[in-house]
């Protein structure tokens, strides 16, 4: 049976083929680099495999049992939570305050906005290398300044188990606050000026306007920032890998760093896959809890 198509149908088919051809590369990339690895993760989590030509050995839930007995895994979870608990609120507050300051009409405002946004688009390797030099314990500018103002024994920063994570948090806030500043800035420009004018007529001060108008109107944006920052913090790897490599000791060894070492240093791909699934479960649970608490968060603000 031959199906005859009208000229209009042929044009529609041609238009659809052209449209799908544009998005096909994206689907191919997604399938190869995301979908296939995810499926392999679910397969390998119950296997023992070192990445060689040796056959896969089915071990059931042994990888998960080993995971929860591993002190290194527990430390990585603790470090990740510590990093997230401090990085999320500090980045949120810094980006909001900068956005409020840069929402005013002052000369050269575009230059200031660009300067604050630039760290986000800068090469992360370059950022890590520069901040490592700034925090260099012996001759770094930061410690030299601390010595100049009278600090006899300044911290060793990235070389200290007590201060390394603090450095990572500082650099993370500095790098990512520019992006969320733009998010807040867009939301601020969407707030009607009539609200502020009405508040001024009622005698509200600048702080009261900020507390009772700006913050409530930014609630959806704040919720978005919290969700995105939390997920980002649980996935942190590159900055830590560049600056400390998870050290000194295991003081900055986070979950993704633990997974990387298990897979590509120790070649325990089954164990690494189990760790990755646990990380996925943690992020999923945290995200669900945050979405469940959205209404309470909105009402509180």
Helix 36-44 with 269-292: angle, nearest 10 deg: 110
State the Cα–Cα distance between residues 85 and 251, nearest whole angstrom.
16
CB atoms within 10 A of CB 148: 8
Cα angle for residues 44, 79, 274 (degrees, 5° grid): 10
pLDDT of residue 298: 59
Half-sphere exposure of residue 274, counting CA atoms within 13 Å on the CB side? 22
Backbone φ and ψ of 57, nearest 5°: -115, 125
For 174-231, the pLDDT digits (tens) are 999 999 999 999 999 888 888 888 888 888 888 888 888 888 899 889 988 999 999 9
Sorted by sequence, the CB contacts under 8 Å of residue 190 that are 6+ apart come out as: none
177 close to 94: Cβ distance less than 8 angstroms:
yes
- pLDDT for residue 126 is more than 70: yes
Sorted by sequence, the CB contacts under 8 Å of residue 66 that are 6+ apart come out as: 271, 274
Both structure tokens of 32 = 């190869």
User: Looking at residues 85-102, what average pLDDT do you find?
Assistant: 94
pLDDT of residue 2: 54
Q: What is the average pLDDT value for the chain, to the nearest integer?
A: 89
User: What share of the chain has pLDDT > 90, as a percent?
Assistant: 52
Q: Which residues of 150-169 are buried (b: 16+ CB within 10 A; e: fewer)?
A: eeeebbbbbbeeebbbbbbb
Both structure tokens of 281 = 């479960």
pLDDT of residue 301: 53
CA 265 to chain centroid, in Å, comes to 24
For 127-184, the pLDDT digits (tens) are 999 999 999 988 899 999 999 998 888 999 999 999 999 999 999 999 999 999 999 9
CB atoms within 10 A of CB 54: 9
User: What share of the chain has pLDDT > 70, as a percent?
Assistant: 96
Both structure tokens of 14 = 């041609």
Q: Which residues of 18-37 are buried (b: 16+ CB within 10 A; e: fewer)?
A: eeeeeeeeeeeeeeeeeeee
pLDDT of residue 60: 87
Q: What is the pTM of this model?
A: 0.87
Give, in words, the CATH class of 70-296. Answer: mainly alpha
State the Cα–Cα distance between residues 44 and 273, nearest whole angstrom.
6
Give the residue carrying structure tokens 């149908």.
Answer: 9
pLDDT of residue 243: 93
* DSSP string covering 127-187: HHHHHHHHT-TTT-HHHHHHHHTT-SS---GGG-TTTHHHHHHHHHHHHHHHHHHHHHHHH
State the Cα–Cα distance between residues 236 and 287, nearest whole angstrom.
16
64 close to 52: Cβ distance less than 8 angstroms:
no
State the Cα–Cα distance between residues 83 and 161, nearest whole angstrom.
14
Backbone φ and ψ of 47, nearest 5°: -120, 165
For 38-47, the pLDDT digits (tens) are 899 999 999 9
- pLDDT for residue 120 is more than 60: yes
The residue extents of the domains of the chain are 7-58, 70-296
């Amino acid at each position: 049976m031959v199906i005859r198509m009208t000229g209009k149908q042929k044009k529609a088919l041609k238009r659809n083929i052209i449209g799908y051809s544009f998005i096909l590369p994206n689907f191919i990339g997604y399938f190869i680099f995301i979908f296939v690895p995810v499926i392999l993760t679910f397969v390998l989590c119950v296997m023992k495999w070192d990445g060689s030509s040796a056959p896969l050995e089915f071990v059931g839930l042994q990888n998960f049992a080993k995971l929860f007995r591993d002190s290194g895994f527990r430390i990585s979870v603790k470090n990740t939570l510590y990093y997230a608990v401090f990085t999320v609120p500090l980045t949120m507050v810094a980006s909001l305050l900068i956005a409020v300051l840069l929402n005013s009409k002052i000369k050269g405002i575009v230059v200031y906005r660009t300067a604050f946004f630039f760290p986000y688009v800068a090469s992360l390797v370059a950022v890590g290398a520069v901040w490592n030099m700034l925090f260099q314990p012996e001759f770094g500018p930061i410690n030299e300044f601390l010595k100049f103002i009278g600090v006899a024994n300044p911290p060793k920063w990235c070389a200290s188990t007590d201060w390394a994570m603090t450095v990572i948090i500082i650099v993370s806030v500095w790098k990512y606050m520019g992006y969320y500043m733009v998010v807040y800035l867009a939301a601020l420009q969407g707030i009607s000026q009539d609200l502020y004018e009405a508040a001024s007529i009622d005698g509200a001060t600048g702080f009261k306007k900020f507390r009772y108008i700006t913050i409530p109107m930014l609630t959806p944006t704040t919720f978005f920032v919290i969700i995105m920052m939390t997920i980002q913090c649980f996935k942190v790897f590159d900055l830590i890998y560049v600056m400390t490599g998870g050290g000194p000791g295991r003081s900055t060894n986070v979950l993704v760093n633990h997974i990387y070492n298990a897979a590509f240093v120790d070649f325990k791909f089954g164990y690494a896959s189990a760790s990755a699934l646990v990380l996925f479960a943690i992020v999923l649970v945290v995200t669900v809890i945050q979405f469940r608490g959205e209404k309470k968060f909105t009402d509180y603000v």
